[in-house]
Structure 1
Amino acid sequence: MNIVTVCGMGFGTSLILKMAVDEILKKNGIAANVEACDLGSVKGKVADLVVSTSELESELKNLNFNIVFVKNAIDKKDIEEKVLEAIKKLK
């Protein structure tokens, strides 16, 4: 499974999200490759799931990805709930 975390520039919020997703996957015994990237690069990625903040919803919603939008990149509980729910739907 490939998961891509996305923010505007690719080295702030996307890295925070990547670390949170990595932690969630490890905690739940789920194997996946997680990569952080910027908004412009996500279009060229192959991803089973994209995780980003709600601020980028208008930029990402029309792309052909399963996308999880979180309101706060440091709210690990919210991220975990949304990511695990999305992964269940992929299986």
Structure 2
Amino acid sequence: MNEKLLVVCGTGMGSSMILKMMVDQVVGAQKLPFDVSSDLASGARSSGADVIVAGLDLAPTLTNVPATVIGIKNILDKAEIASALEEYLASKNDGED
């Protein structure tokens, strides 16, 4: 079963759409188990997401969400995104042992 991944930015427009495109490409290329969507940061708490991906500047402000928050420094860097998502999945798998 895929995890729900939400990409957010402060306004829900430009940067979240770019980051969502990059996340979609990484998830598709590596066949990672995520269903990806995007929204405003203000909608993160009620989204039901398992993991939230945001720019590194916004991630620290997402403190009251019931999900793992991943901050991405360079939203155009697929290697950074892939590494962060793989690290998240590995940490989940470690917790299931």
Paired residues of 1:3 and 1:51 also in contact (CA < 8 A): yes
Once superposed, what is the RMSD of the aligned Cα atoms? 1.4
CA distance in 1, matches of 2:24, 2:92: 18
**Partner SS, residue 45 of structure 2:** helix
Give structure 1 stretches of 5+ with no counterpart.
none
1:81 CA displacement: 0.7
Which residue does 2:84 correspond to in 1?
A: 82
**Partner SS, residue 18 of structure 1:** helix
Paired residues of 2:44 and 2:65 also in contact (CA < 8 A): no
CA distance in 2, matches of 1:54, 1:70: 5
Higher mean C-alpha displacement, 61-70 vs 17-26? 61-70
Give structure 2 stretches of 5+ with no counterpart.
none
Which residue does 2:15 correspond to in 1?
A: 13
Letter in 1 for 2:18: I
**Partner SS, residue 74 of structure 2:** coil
Which residue does 2:72 correspond to in 1?
A: 70
1:74 CA displacement: 0.9
**Partner SS, residue 84 of structure 1:** helix
Alignment TM-score, normalising by the size of structure 1: 0.88
Deviations 1:13-61 (A, max 9, x none): 1111111111111111223210111111111101111100111133113
CA distance in 2, matches of 1:22, 1:70: 14
Paired residues of 1:6 and 1:50 also in contact (CA < 8 A): yes
Q: Number of residue pairs matched?
A: 91
Q: Percent identity?
A: 27
Alignment TM-score, normalising by the size of structure 2: 0.83
